[in-house]
Structure 1
Amino acid sequence: MNIFSIARKLPAMLAATVLVMGAGQALAADVKVTDKTRAKGMADAPAILSASGAPCQIADAHHVGESNVTTADGKKSKVMVYEVACQTGPGYILAKNPDNTATAFNCTQAASQNALDPKATKCVLPGNAKHYAWLQSSVQTLGSPCVVNNARWIGSSDEAKLDRYELGCESGVGGVLDLARTGSTAKTSFDNCLVMEQRKVTCQFTTREQALAVIKPLAEKASASCQVNNSRLIGRVVADNEDYYEFGCANEPGFLVRAKSSGEYVAKISCANAGTLGPCQYTDAASLTASQNATYTKVLAAAGKPCTVESYNVIGTQTQTNRDFVEFKCPEQVYGLMGFIPNEGSTAKIDIFDCYAGVARKRECSLTPATVLTAHLDKLAKADKKDCDVKEVRYAGVTDSDGILVELACTNKRGYVAALSKTRTSYEDIVACNIAKNRPGYETCKIPGNGTYVSDVQ
């Protein structure tokens, strides 16, 4: 009898379980259920089942046979093999090992191994004919319309106490079931076969077209006009219980969709805003960028920020408000723009500010160099008749009047604390470091060595 592990590469969470009861006599092809094998099975199986720990109220049993094995010390021995059908749940192949321990694995696992090697023992009792039937209740609990008509075991994790199965469906669409065992802290889940495709494993009972059909409603919610011609699962954020998909359209630019792992639509994401999720594979990047530049130009104009967008950078997404954080470069805004742009479905407000405010909020611009900002601060200091060639700037915060509080360090060691006006055209106030430190409530200079100028005049 040859009972071996399924040699398939599994996701990092799972490792193939090795179920070995010995190798030798091939009984699988000629095992028959008789009154004699049933009698012996019903007599012997309860004790072996109890020793194995498998949950089962025996409805039927039979003695499969004996398998000759070689133990670790090189001695020949026998393994007694039984099959049991249970009143509920899966049936099992049981083995009484030479050391009197017992091993059990279910009939779906046995069928999966037999499909790869016909010499591997499988269940033959009438009650186990539909070896996959026991998985139906788990799928129904998860709300899937799948009516299970086939299943294969992919692998197990004893550490996570999880077993993974692919399910075929008579109605509904098949997928991958991660079944948590009793005592597991993991959750049972049922995923589209696209999850397996991403992990380089192809579903056997569900075609790719069938798998794609399941997620097509997500594309329809994102864009009713999109004629979907391609799609893929990008990945899953386990902590958020969310999946990200890309859809290509024959008649318009494609997009990404954010959805709950259970299948509910959450939001549409433009490929232009894909950020670290991109680049999109089904949409031309150049034409998409030009289109998005025009879209952002309109959005900024509506927010009272004239800006003919030449380039932009999607830094990230604020998930709690469903807003993208984006930086912009345009000729009208010398000091750059950045801020939060609401995505479709967001109820949050747009929030746009220049790079001075961005740096003060600990968000530095990349499309507008820091040297541009520093040069303007230097120009304003000289306009205020300050003897200062600015070499370093510390942004201290935002004033009550939406000005920017800065510390200026000069090459001659003079230093100043200044409040850049909301219009950015002048300083509301600018005082030397040695004066600022003596004024209650004033920001003080903190750049090392700043404000240590000493006059040469004696």
Structure 2
Amino acid sequence: MKARFAAVLAALMFSAVTVAPAAAQTRPNDDRQAVAEGSSRAAAARQRRERRPAAPTPEQIMAAAQEQATLANTKCQVTEAKLLGETPAKTSVYEVACAAGPGYLIESKTPPSAMDCVLLAHSASVMRARDPAADVGSQCTLPANTDTLKVLREYAVKAGVPCTVDEAKVLGQSNDGGVMYEIGCADASGFWVKALNDNWTKTPCIQVLAEGGACAFTTAAENAAQVKQLLAGSEAAGCDVTEARLMGQNANGMFYEAKCAGADGVIARVNAENVVQQIYPCATAQRIGGGCTLTPAPAAAPAPAGGRP
């Protein structure tokens, strides 16, 4: 029994001795296979990198952005451009700043689409006013595109606004498709201006108020000062205007009411050149546009004792 056990033990020991070298002999093959696989993966990665197009240079981005801005009819002379990325449809998206006017976000579709940075910022502010956590979408971030007041000052000049602009904002779209802006003037009454098909028009805030609108950047005192200026050189030049309103207009001109400090108010009719044509004292102007509303009507004379004659 002991002899058989010794023989089995010897056989196991032999097997162990002979297996170990065999296992050792397979390691070089495994190492060579691992090296080959690693080399193959590296080669594949290198090929992918070689097939991938190189990132465009700043000069190439500028040229491509200018081309897209031109195709989109923005009239933008691109002064700065940034490639924002690629859409799932494989179109490129650029942000551009322009030498004049607003910047744009442009997508290189056919034809390209261009989104005005000033209007995008306005839309975002409206959405955030309703919901501070609202997703406002892509916005312009180039420093030249975040100075919206600079652009709105340019619009005021185009519209012929004769003042130093200190405040301005986008109002929205008008019924005829134009875009409306409010312009505030330093120490003067402001305007609404409208852009429609590259044409600009302006409406004084005193007229905006008469038509039921509102001006956030114009005070009642500024409107009064505007009418005071109109009265200069007329028989009502001495009126210290404390309040004023535009009553309306007809074929004969525009009619303004002025409330005068310490005196009877007046209605002034002015022509298209804003020159006073006629002054009507409020006391006798009841038939002019319904009469004065800023100046209290004179109190009726008391009836004589014993009743009216």
- Same fold, TM-score > 0.5, yes or no: yes
- Determine helix, strand or coil for the equivalent of 2:148: coil
1:46 pairs, out of 49, 54, 66, with 66
- Counterpart residue number, 2:12: none
1:108 pairs, out of 118, 125, 137, with 118
- Counterpart residue number, 1:253: 264
Q: How far off its partner does 1:43 sit?
A: 5.0
1:175 pairs with 2:191: yes
- Determine helix, strand or coil for the equivalent of 1:275: coil
Contact 1:108 1:132 in 2 (8 A): no
Aligned residues: 238
1:131 pairs, out of 142, 148, 157, with 148
- Counterpart residue number, 1:195: 207
- In 2, distance between residues paired with 1:120 and 1:267? 56
1:57 pairs with 2:77: yes
Q: How far off its partner does 1:45 sit?
A: 2.6
Q: Which amino acid aligns with 1:87?
A: A
2:243 pairs, out of 190, 212, 230, with 230
- Determine helix, strand or coil for the equivalent of 1:133: helix
- Counterpart residue number, 2:48: none
Contact 2:159 2:193 in 1 (8 A): no
- Determine helix, strand or coil for the equivalent of 2:70: helix
- Determine helix, strand or coil for the equivalent of 1:154: strand
1:212 pairs with 2:224: yes
Q: What's the C-alpha RMSD, in Å, of the aligned pairs?
A: 3.9
- The structure-2 alpha-carbon separation of the partners of 1:209 and 1:283, relative to structure 1 and needing over 3 Å to count, comes to closer
- The structure-2 alpha-carbon separation of the partners of 1:275 and 1:78, relative to structure 1 and needing over 3 Å to count, comes to farther
Matches within 5 A, 1:267-306: 267-271=278-282, 272-273=284-285, 275=287, 277-285=289-297
Please give the TM-score of this superposition, normalised by the length of structure 1: 0.43
2:181 pairs, out of 152, 165, 174, with 165
- In 2, distance between residues paired with 1:135 and 1:205? 14
- The structure-2 alpha-carbon separation of the partners of 1:192 and 1:56, relative to structure 1 and needing over 3 Å to count, comes to same
Which structure has more strand as a fraction of its residues? 1
- In 2, distance between residues paired with 1:47 and 1:171? 43
Q: Deviations over 1:403-451 (max 9, x none)?
A: xxxxxxxxxxxxxxxxxxxxxxxxxxxxxxxxxxxxxxxxxxxxxxxxx
Q: How far off its partner does 1:207 sit?
A: 3.0
Q: Which amino acid aligns with 1:108?
A: V
- In 2, distance between residues paired with 1:95 and 1:218? 50
- In 2, distance between residues paired with 1:36 and 1:274? 74
- Counterpart residue number, 2:49: none
Q: Which amino acid aligns with 1:58?
A: V
Q: Deviations over 1:4-24 (max 9, x none)?
A: xxxxxxxxxxxxxxxxxxxxx
- The structure-2 alpha-carbon separation of the partners of 1:177 and 1:197, relative to structure 1 and needing over 3 Å to count, comes to same
- Determine helix, strand or coil for the equivalent of 1:174: strand
Contact 1:56 1:87 in 2 (8 A): yes
Please give the TM-score of this superposition, normalised by the length of structure 2: 0.60
Q: How far off its partner does 1:281 sit?
A: 0.7
Q: Deviations over 1:57-97 (max 9, x none)?
A: 111122446789xxxxxxxx798653221122332333456
Q: How far off its partner does 1:246 sit?
A: 1.3
Q: Deviations over 1:180-232 (max 9, x none)?
A: 533x5xxx333322233234433233333334333322245452332323221
- The structure-2 alpha-carbon separation of the partners of 1:172 and 1:197, relative to structure 1 and needing over 3 Å to count, comes to closer
Contact 1:246 1:254 in 2 (8 A): yes
Q: How far off its partner does 1:247 sit?
A: 1.3
Q: Which amino acid aligns with 1:148?
A: V
- In 1, distance between residues paired with 2:78 and 2:223? 37
Which structure has more helix as a fraction of its residues? 2
Q: How far off its partner does 1:39 sit?
A: 6.9
- The structure-2 alpha-carbon separation of the partners of 1:80 and 1:211, relative to structure 1 and needing over 3 Å to count, comes to farther
- In 2, distance between residues paired with 1:177 and 1:57? 24
